[in-house]
Structure formats: C-alpha cells, structure tokens
Amino acid sequence: MPLAPDGAPDAADVVYDEDSELLDKLATGDEVAFRMLVERHIDRAYAIALRIVGNAADAEDVVQDSMLKIWSHRGRWQHGRAKFSTWLYRVISNRCIDLRRKPRTENVEAVPEVADNQPGAVELIERNELNDMLELAMQRLPEQQRVAVILSYHENMSNGEIAQVMDTTVAAVESLLKRGRQQLRQLLRKHERDIRTAFTDC
C-alpha cells in the first residue's frame, strides 16, 4: 500500500481497502455493510447526480434507484476488480442519462433579485447570470459529453477515473472533453448574442 510522506497510508487507499472489506460483506447480503457504504458515498453521489440532471428531486430519485440497483446486483461484485465508488458513479451516470432522455418539462428558476444598495450587487448579479448561462449550456450538451465534463471539472476526476466510470477508453474521454469544451464555448457565444439582440430590439 502506498504511504504518505509521513509514512502513513494514503487516505484514498485506506478508503479503498475499507470499501473492499465492506463489499466482500455486501456480496453475502450484509445489510449493515451496505448501509455503511451508502453513508460513506451518498453525499458525493448526490452531488454528481444533481450536476447531471439539474434537479434536486430527480437527483434524489437517481441516487435511491442506483443504491437499490447495487443492492440487487451485490452478488456480482468481484474482489479487486474495481472501486465501489467507480461502480456507484457508473450506475448513477447511466441512470441520469436514461432519465434525461425521457420527455420532460423544463423548469428554469428565476435569478433572485438583489437589493440595489447591497455591496457588490452588480457583481453578484453578473456572477449569477454567468452561472445561469453556464448551467444552461451544460444542460444542452450531449449526454456523454455532459457526464465527462462534470466528472472532470466538478468532481476533479482524472481521465483514467472517468474512463472507468463511463466504461470507455481514456482516448474516448479526451475526445468527449474536447468536444464538450468546444460545444460549451459555442453555446455560451450564442447565448450572449441572443441577449444582445434582445436588448437591441427593446
């Protein structure tokens, strides 16, 4: 096991080892081990789902469905084959993609108003508008590109980790990220042009 500079085991490796032990127990139907795995990973799992689907209620459903799927497929776990987190995030990503492919009604929340006398009000509004523009552009990315971009930029995963989660190659991930960045730039430029046109027509 790799050691940190002070000679202690690396934190990621400790979690991996602990997860592996719990997964061995999970494979035999140990509900306590399953609850411990859920508690350890549920916050990050929810954050990933929320980024992908863009809706809190849907994200909660995705996480719940994903956990149930892992429980129902617990017997397929093979020791040393993959991290639990990789398995979980793959299930979540696939469930999010399935959900987003279903017809749905978009609900875009309005940006909250900021009082004029609030310090930095203009900067805050501009920041909110930029965040909204970026989120809208992210929502319009093709599903595979969106997942890759979120895992890379929001979850700080390496291309190798993303490849494991998405069950693809590193080269494919690099291509998805490159096309995703290009698509985001195009969408953001178009959104800026639409805003300028709207104000010109007023």
pLDDT confidence of residue 121: 52
One domain, residues 138 and 83: no
Asked if 39 and 79 sit in the same domain, the reply is yes
- pLDDT tier at 21, thresholds 50, 70, 90: confident
Using the structure block, give the residue that is written with the tokens 């690396």: 10
pLDDT band at 7 (very low <50, low <70, confident <90, very high): very low
Q: How many residues does the chain have?
A: 202
Dihedrals φ, ψ of 5, to 5°? -55, -30
Q: What are 127-137's pLDDT values in tens digits?
A: 556 666 777 78
SS3 37: helix
Whole-Å CA distances, 188 to 74, 125, 168, 183: 43, 17, 28, 9
Residue 94's domain is classified under what CATH number?
A: 1.10.1740.10
Domain count across the chain: 2
65 and 27, same domain (yes or no)? yes
What phi and psi, each to the nearest 5 degrees, are found at residue 7? 95, -5
Residues 74 and 163 in one domain: no
**Domain end marker among 77, 107, 137:** 107
Boundary of a domain, candidates 62, 88, 107: 107
Query: Any idea what the CATH number is for the domain that residue 199 is in?
Result: 1.10.10.10
| Whether 90 and 183 share a structural domain | no
Phi then psi for 133, rounded to 5 degrees? -60, -45
If asked whether residues 44 and 84 sit together in one domain, one would say: yes
The confidence score (pLDDT) of residue 129 equals 62
Find, among 113, 89, 106, the residue nearest to 41 by Cα. Answer: 89
The last residue of a domain, from among 76, 107, 138? 107
The pLDDT tens digits of the residues spanning 153-173 come to: 888 999 999 999 999 999 999
Kindly report, residue by residue over 42-101, the tens digit of the pLDDT.
999 999 999 999 889 999 999 999 999 999 988 776 666 678 888 899 999 999 998 888
In this structure, the answer to whether residues 94 and 174 fall within a common structural domain is no
Q: Are residues 80 and 17 in the same domain?
A: yes
Asked if residue 80 and residue 27 are part of one domain, the reply reads yes
Are residues 94 and 126 located together in one domain of the fold? no
Q: Which domain holds residue 133?
A: 115-202
Q: Are 187 and 140 within 8 A, CB to CB?
A: yes
Residues 74 and 94 both lie in one domain: yes
What pLDDT is recorded for position 100? 81
What tokens appear for 107 in the block? 């609900």
Residue with tokens 């500079």: 5
Q: How many whole angstroms separate alpha carbon 16 and alpha carbon 55?
A: 30
The DSSP call for residue 2 is -
